[in-house]
Amino acid sequence: MLAHIPIVSFDTEVAERWAGLFAALSRKDRLIPANDLAVAATALHLGFGVLAGPRDDAHFRRVPGLSVLTLSPD
């Protein structure tokens, strides 16, 4: 799998994006789990969306500007 999907570092730029999202969502009392926030920050930084399961997509949808696709339970 690693031969086909690059590893992305959680660098300063992604950390700053994470902090901005954390602050924005905290102010609205809509914070999501920290690991998922890291995934969202990384996706936004790279210009990607996220693919989530039906139980997880709702909290990813709280992240402004993040494209979220939901896996079908089929």
In 1-74 the beta strands, taken as DSSP E runs, fall at 50-52, 68-70
Query: Is the per-residue pLDDT at 74 higher than 80?
Result: no
At 57 the pLDDT is: 85
**What pLDDT band is residue 1 in, cutting at 50, 70 and 90?**
confident
Q: Given CA atoms 49, 50, 51, 57 in this order, what sign does their dihedral have?
A: negative
Instruction: Return the closest-CA partner of residue 66 out of 48, 56, 55.
Output: 48
* 18-72 residue pLDDT tens: 999 999 999 999 999 999 999 999 999 999 999 998 888 899 999 999 999 998 8
Query: Is the per-residue pLDDT at 2 higher than 90?
Result: no
pTM of the model: 0.88
Instruction: Return the closest-CA partner of residue 48 out of 68, 23, 64.
Output: 68
